[in-house]
Chains A and B, each alone.
Chain A
């Protein structure tokens, strides 16, 4: 290719320099946290007063992430099986199908989504009672 000087094309990119004087766009984690939108698909919550232990959530979960385990104390007399879901976060993909099919809408997803544990095998999560 013949060499030809493209003066405009060589100068205009320097507008980028002007952005040095702008405020940084990043946030200073952990001192400042990003606000998570309402309705974010984070961790599960399960209202034990409402859960009827029907295992619809277990049935719909295609990743087999849900185990039904016996409840410690009966909270809901309508809970005929005495079981509530526990979720394996090593398998869950946060599709929220389980919350869609829950008949009393007791299972929900909350905004919180940060998980840290010192055991690398620790993924079993008991939904918070909310």
Chain B
């Protein structure tokens, strides 16, 4: 039989795809000759909805932009509004926010372990890591009242005071997680199957990484040390001592090892936060005319490091109590199109899910 290129749709119902999106693949045998990303299965029009609502009403939907890690969205939104309205938040609120962001990062990275291991058939690891993630969600439940969508970081501070004994519980959980990490190393990161599958697959071109605007683990997996927490610090990251793990190799394995290091760094950061957290202080700044407060006609651009890379918001106010424009850019927009479409060429069909997971592509933030 002659060689024929066939076209298949990979997703949106394929379990290996990271969310509701699909890839249109041109296949020659098992090899991919062309790839096109399709999104649009999850468009919810948040950017439009925000324009119709007052600021505190808009606050409740920004967290829904990213499902596995909503907090960077809340932080971006709150920080942009604070910048525009000229609100300075208290130190204690800053520490609590940083703590929430780091907890969310660990939870999200554990979820990623589940996805990445599932994509190469190591389902067991995923079950463990999802259980561990649930323990973090339990803490979130206690702190914020919600497991997944926390709606906690609020323009002006945070919404609730820490419950009694929360920091002790967090401390215990960190101990537990640290105990668990060697297990993941043994079963997943050092697993011969994973190494064989991942090393040399999905290699990002290092020279164009910075210029093309790649972020997060894609850069750090190329050995380029970039992290918004360090380069463009926000909240209290300037006072905290942490490393930025990098790994050379530019492939799926390198990105996995970067994430492995990041879980450890986040745990380290959380321990420092527990130590340094100011004992008292206001958690919420008074906002004048809470329900209808206005922001001036101005615009700003803020970014936060999420577990998948830099997350940035452009927010423009027009002098009324509504936001004129909020534009979200998640890490996945560039990774899912500019990078992925190129990266998949000449890869095997069986590697698609693995590569997508390792880039951390998440369609909700592409189409908002």
Contact flag (A, B; Cβ within 8 A): yes
- Residues on A facing B (Cβ under 8 Å): 1, 6, 8-10, 12-13, 15-16, 25, 36-41, 56, 59-60, 62, 93-97, 100-101, 109
- Does B291 contact A59, Cβ atoms closer than 8 Å? yes
- Of residues 147 through 196 on chain B, the ones whose CB sits less than 8 Å from some CB of chain A are 149, 151, 159-160, 163, 183, 186-188, 190-193, 195-196
- Does A9 contact B131, Cβ atoms closer than 8 Å? no
Q: How many residues of B contact A (CB 8 A)?
A: 33
- A-side contacts of B350, CB under 8 Å: none
| A-contact 0/1 string along B117-150, CB 8 Å cutoff | 0000000100000010000001001100110010
- A-side contacts of B57, CB under 8 Å: 60, 62, 97
- Does A39 contact B190, Cβ atoms closer than 8 Å? no
- Does A39 contact B191, Cβ atoms closer than 8 Å? no
- Does B124 contact A97, Cβ atoms closer than 8 Å? no
The yes or no answer to B200 lying at the interface (CB within 8 A) is: yes
- Does B192 contact A6, Cβ atoms closer than 8 Å? yes
Taking the nearest CB of chain B, how far is it from the CB of A112, in angstroms?
A: 13
- A-side contacts of B187, CB under 8 Å: 12-13, 15-16
The yes or no answer to B53 lying at the interface (CB within 8 A) is: yes
- B-side contacts of A40, CB under 8 Å: 141, 145-146
Taking the nearest CB of chain A, how far is it from the CB of B158, in angstroms?
A: 13
- Cβ-neighbour of B56 out of A1, A6, A56, A97 (below 8 A): A97
- Does A37 contact B60, Cβ atoms closer than 8 Å? no
- Cβ-neighbour of B142 out of A13, A15, A39, A109 (below 8 A): A39
- Cβ-neighbour of A39 out of B145, B196, B291 (below 8 A): B145
With the chains together, A27 CA to B159 CA distance in Å?
A: 31
- Residues on B facing A (Cβ under 8 Å): 53-54, 56-58, 60-61, 124, 131, 138, 141-142, 145-146, 149, 151, 159-160, 163, 183, 186-188, 190-193, 195-196, 199-200, 290-291
Assuming the A-B contacts A15-B187, A94-B146, A101-B291, are A9 and B192 also in contact, with contact meaning beta carbons closer than 8 angstroms in the complex?
yes
20 other A-B residue contacts (CB within 8 Å) besides A16-B187, A62-B54, A62-B60: A1-B196, A9-B192, A9-B195, A13-B191, A13-B192, A13-B193, A16-B124, A25-B131, A37-B138, A37-B145, A39-B145, A41-B145, A41-B146, A56-B291, A60-B56, A60-B57, A62-B57, A93-B61, A97-B60, A100-B159
- B-side contacts of A37, CB under 8 Å: 138, 141-142, 145
Select from chain B the residue with minimum beta-carbon distance to A93.
B60
With the chains together, A12 CA to B199 CA distance in Å?
A: 19
- Does B190 contact A9, Cβ atoms closer than 8 Å? yes
- Does A38 contact B163, Cβ atoms closer than 8 Å? yes
- B-side contacts of A38, CB under 8 Å: 142, 163
A-B contact pairs, 29 of them (CB 8 A): A1-B200, A6-B196, A8-B190, A10-B192, A12-B187, A12-B190, A12-B191, A13-B192, A15-B186, A15-B187, A16-B124, A36-B141, A37-B138, A37-B142, A39-B145, A40-B141, A41-B146, A56-B291, A62-B54, A62-B58, A62-B61, A93-B60, A93-B149, A94-B146, A95-B151, A96-B145, A96-B151, A97-B56, A97-B60
Assuming the A-B contacts A9-B191, A39-B163, are A95 and B141 also in contact, with contact meaning beta carbons closer than 8 angstroms in the complex?
no
- B-side contacts of A41, CB under 8 Å: 145-146
Taking the nearest CB of chain A, how far is it from the CB of B278, in angstroms?
A: 22
With the chains together, A41 CA to B146 CA distance in Å?
A: 6
- Does B183 contact A15, Cβ atoms closer than 8 Å? yes
With the chains together, A40 CA to B187 CA distance in Å?
A: 35
With the chains together, A60 CA to B289 CA distance in Å?
A: 13
4 tightest A-B CB contacts, nearest first: A9-B192, A62-B57, A95-B60, A41-B145
- Does A39 contact B160, Cβ atoms closer than 8 Å? yes
